[in-house]
Amino acid sequence: MQKRLVGFLVCLVFVFMLAACGEKSQQDVMNSLDEKVEEMTGYKANAKMTLNTGKDSQVYDVEIWHSKPMYYRVNLKNATKEQSQMILRNDEGVFVLTPALNKSFRFQSDWPQNSSQAYLYESLVRDIMEDQEAEFTSNEKSYVFKTKTNYQNSAMLPKQSITLNKKDLTPQNVKIMDTDENVLIEVEFSDVQMNAKFDEGAFDTKRNMTGAKMEVPTVAPSNAQPFEIMYPEEIPDGSVIAEEKKIKTENGERIVIMYEGEKPFTVVQEKSRVAQASTSTSVSGELVDLGFTIGALTDKTLSWSFDGVDFMVSSNDLTESEFMMVARSIQSQMIK
């Protein structure tokens, strides 16, 4: 009898030891993530962002800096297009720097709190925490969460897969998917440094504009060459072109394409103007990340610049998701 009891106790201890050494549960990992974000002072990271929204994939290098509580510097570069933009958040507000145009745009925005951000660690953790139906798996080296997104165009990009390093919970990979789970945007992280140190002035607007202009050449003058007219590939059902016209301006030509249907809208495009001296312009509307560039969204317009061309979509009837759909499909034309 005594031998049986001893044997039972040994087995019981062994079972407890196995449990103690076993895999962490989803809640365990979430608790650790919450603690890590709370205790960190900031981070630096590099990433490659691949957009699969056109015929050919586009790859961007992304450099991310964050210093608590609310300092951010996100530098996006597309070497093949000599396209570069930087998002800055500092004590003065939220800025988008476009060095090729010698311009900075200031937004009255609560970015990055207002939506999901695939390249910001704390945003990914927030999405994990807020999705009560998040799926969780683990393998030898990683934890994987599949969650809902909170993008401005979440109807088009409703899901994401977030892979974290099992050793230190730093981000490894994010895949953003459409309703059919096709991966449209992928972010692969490298060299993530938690609690990184920053020089004084690291998030200063003027200093960053000066540094960015040294790396990216300014675009050609607006009237140097004609530009190819771009048409959206994806438009609301029933929409057709009602009129297309060219308007002569001081800086060249402005193309206006008007669509009619249940949800009429207009697409305007013209060559970008390079500012003679660095200028900062206040922008009405919310900062939106189109993936390939940063845009400004209001109730009735979505405007952005890409590859030396300024675009604007205007409508009284398009939804936020439809504005984003039209803009992204114009971009897919540009990279073909």
Whole-angstrom distance, CA of residue 73 vs CA of residue 162: 22
- Residues 6 or more apart whose CB falls under 8 angstroms from that of 32 comprise 24, 169
Of the candidates 271, 268, 283, the residue with the CA atom closest to the CA atom of residue 330: 268
What is the rounded average pLDDT for all residues in the chain? 86
Domains recognised in the chain with CATH numbers: 26-215 (2.50.20.10), 240-271+298-334 (no CATH)
This prediction has a pTM of 0.84
Residue 6 or residue 164, greater confidence: 164
Whole-angstrom distance, CA of residue 26 vs CA of residue 123: 18
Residue position matching structure tokens 């039209």: 326
Rg (alpha carbons) of the chain, rounded to whole number: 24
Report the length, in residues, of the chain.
336
Mean pLDDT across 126-148: 96
The 10 Å CB-count burial string (b at 16+, else e) for 61-80 is ebbbbbbeeebbbbbbbbee
Confidence band, pLDDT 50/70/90 cuts, at residue 133: very high
Whole-angstrom distance, CA of residue 21 vs CA of residue 7: 21
Residue 130: pLDDT over 50: yes
- Report pLDDT digits (tens) over 21-30: 467 999 999 9
**Worst-scoring range by mean pLDDT, 10-14, 50-54, 240-244, 255-259?**
10-14
Whole-angstrom distance, CA of residue 130 vs CA of residue 151: 14
Of the candidates 120, 118, 173, the residue with the CA atom closest to the CA atom of residue 143: 173
Whole-angstrom distance, CA of residue 187 vs CA of residue 284: 29
pLDDT of residue 211: 87
Cross-strand bridge partners of residue 164: 143, 171
Mean pLDDT across 323-333: 82
Residue 265 or residue 290, greater confidence: 265
Neighbouring C-alpha atoms within 13 Å toward the C-beta of 284: 4
Whole-angstrom distance, CA of residue 196 vs CA of residue 187: 21
**Is the Cβ–Cβ distance between 311 and 330 less than 8 Å?**
yes
DSSP 133: T
pLDDT more than 90, % of the chain: 59
Of the candidates 74, 117, 68, 123, the residue with the CA atom closest to the CA atom of residue 94: 74
pLDDT of residue 214: 79
Confidence band, pLDDT 50/70/90 cuts, at residue 6: very low
- Report pLDDT digits (tens) over 194-233: 999 999 999 999 999 988 877 766 655 545 567 889 999 9
Residue 19: pLDDT over 80: no
pLDDT of residue 141: 94
pLDDT of residue 74: 96
Residue 4: pLDDT over 80: no
Q: Which of 7-16, 37-46, 74-83 has the highest mean pLDDT?
A: 37-46
Whole-angstrom distance, CA of residue 254 vs CA of residue 239: 22
Confidence band, pLDDT 50/70/90 cuts, at residue 49: very high
